């Protein structure tokens, strides 16, 4: 999604009247349904009231939230570093790119569930498994976006920069990185929502901590209220992270305003 | 090149540049056996029609392209082969300003000094002094998008001069601006080039500009064939009309005009 679309969609922290109204309609509809459920033959636990969900929210264990958050941020930083490193190497060496490109396309076509199964079968450590899955899913996104952005840097600017004879490091730090920064921020936004979803599935399968694990526990206890509460936390976490990225974006890309 | 006392001469001999078209694989001769000698501190205008190889010559002179044959030798070194030896020695002004949009005017001017490793305070002072000389002191913190075309080109000129380079190259640097702005910038550029005693090479397709700026006008035909090498000082101001006419005729016929020999 383009950053402008994020802003328009009200996901960057702005609460339009429409956003508030649509949320209110959902809340009211849910609450009415929760009261009507027994009369409709639906078990009461399937659509819990907001009071029950609120009680679940109070019991949320912050440590699980922190663990999931750290896993997401850690893996995204690693994915970003690796993606940028490989993109730079591929930009500099078309031969390397010709070898790596098909492999990356293959990686991107592998379903998340397959990565999780590979991780469970190949590795022992839980943290390593989760990091592996997240990097396998998010790394190629960073790589492809960075490489495309590098190729998109105008020939004119590249010529101007080279005419001043920079070192390779200067060329990348003074031209390429700032030039591709808008694309990198968009990649972060895309990968944030991707990582939140993937980490939940990965934790669901192989972890004993984190939001994914708590969702698995809630499922075992048939507690829809707990599932709802943890899902709310996940969504809030994603919005919070996106808001942080949007703040960074506003600051570092103020030249575009 | 480091520690050079003045600008070195530029020797272009039997220069040839052939490009291969990506789609058809066909060879295109951009420059065919060009010989030129440019003396230190000379202000030279190179004129020619679109597609005659002027911009290719520009890229070869700044070392962005490798000659297919022949050579460009500046102070005993070649701009392509001895690329790093020319750090801080060659500065360029392009047709479009080519400012980095994420940098303020001051930061754009500072760029070449940053690349040379000039310390922060000295770098800022030197850059600010050049912005002031170009009448942009009040716009140091403005981003390129906040400046007019003429102001952006002034920043680009400041960025070139801040290096105090031995050689200045300008490729159609004023062609896209309105007549008044172009005239002002041309005069500023010329005054600064003369003051700094740099060798200045201006590539243009505008005869008026070439006559107004150059000590010498080099007229190139197709494939950068040397059609005329004119010392402007030999022509009095009243004869500039005849000179322009003769260059025009030379460019149209792609043959030497007897009036220019």
**The residue count for chain A:** 257
Cβ–Cβ contact B232 with A under 8 A: no
- Taking phi over 0 as left and psi of -120 to 50 as alpha, with beta for the rest, B67 belongs to beta
Q: What tokens does B165 get?
A: 């380079």
Cβ–Cβ contact B155 with A under 8 A: no
Q: Is the pLDDT of residue A1 over 80?
A: no
> Whole-prediction pTM value?
0.83
Q: Which of A160, A174, A178 sits opposite B98 (nearest CB)?
A: A160
pLDDT in tens, A67-113: 999 999 999 999 999 999 999 999 999 999 999 999 999 999 999 99
Q: Which of B64, B91, B102 sits opposite A178 (nearest CB)?
A: B102
Cα–Cα distance between B58 and B25 in angstroms, integer?
24
| SS3 call for A62 | helix
Q: What tokens does B65 get?
A: 């392209």
Cα–Cα distance between B223 and B225 in angstroms, integer?
5
How much is the pLDDT for B53?
A: 86
Q: What are phi and psi of A199, to 5 degrees?
A: -65, -35
Q: Do A255 and B145 touch (CB under 8 A)?
A: yes
* Mutant choice from B93, B111, B145 vs A, greatest count of A C-beta within 10 A: B111
- Which H/E stretch holds residue A183? helix A177-206
Q: Is the pLDDT of residue B50 over 90?
A: no
Which domains are assigned to chain B? 41-65+76-89+165-261 (3.40.50.300), 100-164 (no CATH)
CATH class of A59-256: mainly alpha
The residues spanned by each domain of chain A are: 1-47, 59-256
Chain A residues in contact with B64 by the CB 8 A cut-off are 159, 162-163
Q: Is the pLDDT of residue A180 over 90?
A: yes
Q: What tokens does B141 get?
A: 């913190």
Cα–Cα distance between B128 and B63 in angstroms, integer?
29
User: For the packed helices A224-252 and A211-220, what is the interaxial angle rounded to 10 degrees?
Assistant: 160
Cα–Cα distance between A95 and A104 in angstroms, integer?
15
In chain B, whose CA is at the least distance from the CA of A159? B64
Rounded to two decimals, the ipTM of the complex is: 0.87
pLDDT in tens, B133-176: 888 989 999 999 999 988 999 999 999 999 989 999 999 888 77
Task: State chain A's mean pLDDT as an integer.
Answer: 90
Q: What tokens does B111 get?
A: 């760029």
How much is the pLDDT for B2?
A: 47
Mean pLDDT on B4-27: 84
Q: What is the dihedral of CA A63, A68, A71, A72, to 10 degrees?
A: -140
Per mean pLDDT, which range of A203-212, B66-75, B134-143 is the poorest? A203-212
Q: Which of B90, B102, B111 sits opposite A255 (nearest CB)?
A: B102
pLDDT in tens, B168-219: 999 988 877 788 888 888 888 888 888 888 899 999 888 888 888 888 999 8
């Amino acid at each position: 999604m383009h950053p402008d679309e994020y802003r328009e969609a009200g996901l960057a922290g702005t609460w339009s009247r429409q956003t508030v109204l649509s949320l209110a309609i959902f809340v009211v509809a849910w609450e009415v349904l929760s009261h009507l459920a027994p009369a409709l033959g639906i078990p009461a636990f399937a659509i819990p009231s907001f009071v029950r969900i609120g009680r679940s929210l109070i019991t949320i264990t912050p440590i699980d939230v922190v663990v999931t958050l750290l896993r997401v941020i850690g893996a995204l930083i690693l994915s970003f570093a690796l993606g940028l490193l490989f993109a730079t190497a591929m930009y500099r060496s078309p031969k390397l790119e010709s070898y790596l490109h098909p492999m990356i396309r293959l990686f991107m076509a592998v379903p998340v569930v397959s990565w999780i199964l590979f991780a469970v079968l190949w590795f022992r450590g839980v943290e390593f498994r989760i990091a592996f899955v997240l990097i396998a899913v998010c790394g190629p996104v960073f790589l492809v976006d960075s490489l495309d952005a590098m190729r998109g840097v105008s020939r004119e600017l590249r010529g101007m920069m080279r005419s001043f004879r920079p070192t390779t490091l200067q060329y990348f730090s003074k031209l390429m990185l700032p030039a591709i920064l808008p694309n990198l921020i968009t990649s972060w936004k895309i990968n944030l929502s991707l990582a939140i979803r993937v980490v939940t599935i990965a934790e669901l399968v192989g972890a004993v901590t984190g939001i994914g694990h708590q969702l698995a526990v809630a499922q075992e206890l048939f507690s829809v209220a707990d599932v709802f509460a943890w899902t709310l936390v996940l969504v809030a976490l994603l919005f919070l992270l996106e808001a942080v990225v949007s703040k960074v974006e506003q600051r570092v890309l103020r030249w575009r305003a | 090149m480091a520690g050079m006392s003045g600008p070195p001469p530029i020797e272009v001999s039997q220069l040839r540049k052939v490009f291969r078209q990506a789609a058809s694989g066909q060879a295109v001769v951009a420059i065919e056996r060009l010989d030129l000698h440019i003396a230190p501190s000379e202000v030279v205008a190179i004129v020619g029609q679109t597609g005659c190889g002027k911009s290719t010559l520009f890229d070869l002179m700044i070392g962005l392209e490798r000659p297919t044959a022949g050579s460009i030798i500046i102070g005993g070194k070649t701009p392509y082969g001895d690329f790093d030896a020319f750090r801080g020695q060659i500065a360029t002004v392009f047709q479009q300003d080519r400012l980095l949009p994420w940098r303020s005017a001051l930061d754009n001017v500072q760029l070449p000094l940053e690349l040379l490793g000039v310390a922060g305070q000295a770098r800022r002072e030197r850059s600010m002094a050049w912005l002031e000389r170009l009448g942009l002191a009040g716009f140091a913190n403005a981003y390129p998008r906040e400046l007019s075309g003429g102001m952006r080109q002034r920043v680009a000129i400041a960025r070139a001069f801040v290096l105090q380079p031995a050689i200045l190259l300008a490729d159609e640097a004023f062609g896209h601006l309105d007549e008044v702005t172009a005239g002002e910038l041309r005069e500023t550029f010329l005054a600064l080039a003369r003051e700094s005693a740099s060798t200045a090479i201006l590539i243009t397709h505008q005869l008026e500009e070439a006559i107004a700026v150059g000590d010498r006008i080099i007229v190139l035909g197709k494939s950068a064939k040397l059609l005329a090498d004119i010392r402007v000082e030999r022509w009095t101001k009243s004869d500039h009309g005849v000179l322009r006419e003769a260059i025009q005729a030379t460019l149209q016929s792609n043959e030497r005009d007897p009036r220019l020999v």
